[in-house]
Homo-oligomer: A and B are copies of this chain.
Amino acid sequence: MRRVALKLEYDGRDFVGWQRQDVGTSVQGVLEQAARHLTLGAPVTCIAAGRTDSGVHAEGQVAHLDLPQKHTREAIRNALNFHTRPHAVAVLDVADVPDDWSARFSALGRCYRYTINTRPARLVLDHGRAWHVARLLDVTAMQHAARHLLGRHDFTSFRASSCQAASPVRTLDRLAVTQHNETITVIAEARSFLHHQVRNMVGTLKLVGDGKLPADAVRDILAATDRKAAGPTAPSDGLVFTRVVYEPDPFVAS
């Protein structure tokens, strides 16, 4: 057997989320079923860098699995893309990695992009790909608020009650809020995130943008270490898992 890393794109609306569940189609389940065509039917386990929720998209999710030696990387990519049809997931790239390499535990950073659209008209081409907030938001205030979240903090106030992480402390390396015409983009980067952390941060920044919360209140919300202190969870539609950082990057060598 040899371990391979997969770079994945998927449309989150097609799935109950990354993780295999009792009911519904998961990205993990679709990939594991497809991979059995490469293992003569033997069960395969596929581990991802991040377990995205239902509705959350990926442009650069990374997962690993163990396969027999005999296939080329191109053959693996093509076979998985064939056998995952018609589900909205694609294997963009395949890389050979060491036997002890883990898409999850070897990851040094994770990057997400959240998109808010403030135009009056409902979304058509970006339907399901952005949070439609049909009014102007104060982006300068949102940028100010975002700065309070940067760095190492106890993010309990932005953590889902279902979060299974041992510690609520995370180091947020980047939280950039930018605006281009009617589109507001939030880029979030950290070694790892708590469950719903990005969507809860965006939900709170949106309250600031709406003028319902002063930008500096975000400091107090962090200090409260209480989920009820922060804003609601932003919808999954706007969130894309864009990139996972590894050193070395297995896909550059490939």
Q: What residues of chain A have their CB less than 8 Å away from a CB belonging to chain B?
A: 9-11, 57, 59, 74, 77-78, 81, 85, 88-93, 119-125, 127
**B78–A92 touching, CB < 8 Å:** no
Q: What B residues does A78 contact at CB under 8 A? A: 120
Number of copies: 2
Asked if A120 meets B88 with Cβ closer than 8 Å, knowing A9-B125, A125-B57, the reply is no
Which of B77, B88, B122 has a CB less than 8 Å from the CB of A121? B77
Q: Which residue of B lies closest to A182 (CB)?
A: B92
Is there contact, CB below 8 Å, between A88 and B9? no
Q: Which residue of B lies closest to A85 (CB)?
A: B122
Asked whether, in the complex, the Cβ of A11 is within 8 Å of the Cβ of B125, the reply is: yes
The distance from the CB of A226 to the nearest CB of chain B, in whole angstroms, is 36
B contact residues around A85 at 8 Å (CB): 122
Q: How far is the CB of A139 from chain B (nearest CB, A)?
A: 21
A120, B59: Cβ atoms under 8 Å?
no
Which residues on B sit within 8 Å (CB–CB) of A57?
A: 125
CA of A22 to CA of B74, assembled, Å:
47
Sample 19 A-B pairs with CB under 8 A, ordered by A number.
Answer: A9-B121, A9-B124, A9-B125, A10-B124, A59-B125, A74-B120, A77-B120, A77-B121, A78-B120, A81-B121, A88-B124, A88-B127, A89-B124, A90-B122, A90-B123, A91-B121, A92-B119, A92-B121, A93-B121
CB-CB under 8 A from A11, the residues of chain B are 124-125, 127
Quote the shortest CB–CB distance from A110 to chain B (angstroms). 19
Complex Cα distance A119/B88, Å? 16
Instruction: Apart from A11-B124, A81-B122, list 5 A-B contacts with CB within 8 A.
Output: A11-B127, A77-B120, A78-B120, A90-B122, A92-B119
Question: With A and B bound together, what is the CA distance between A89 and B77 in angstroms?
Answer: 36
* A92-B122 Cα distance, complex, nearest whole Å: 8
In whole Å, how far is A135's beta carbon from the nearest beta carbon of chain B? 12
* Bound Cα distance A104, B125 (Å): 24
Residues in B neighbouring A122, C-beta threshold 8 A = 81, 85, 90
Q: Report the separation of the CA atoms of residues A57 and B91 in the bound assembly, to the nearest whole angstrom.
A: 26
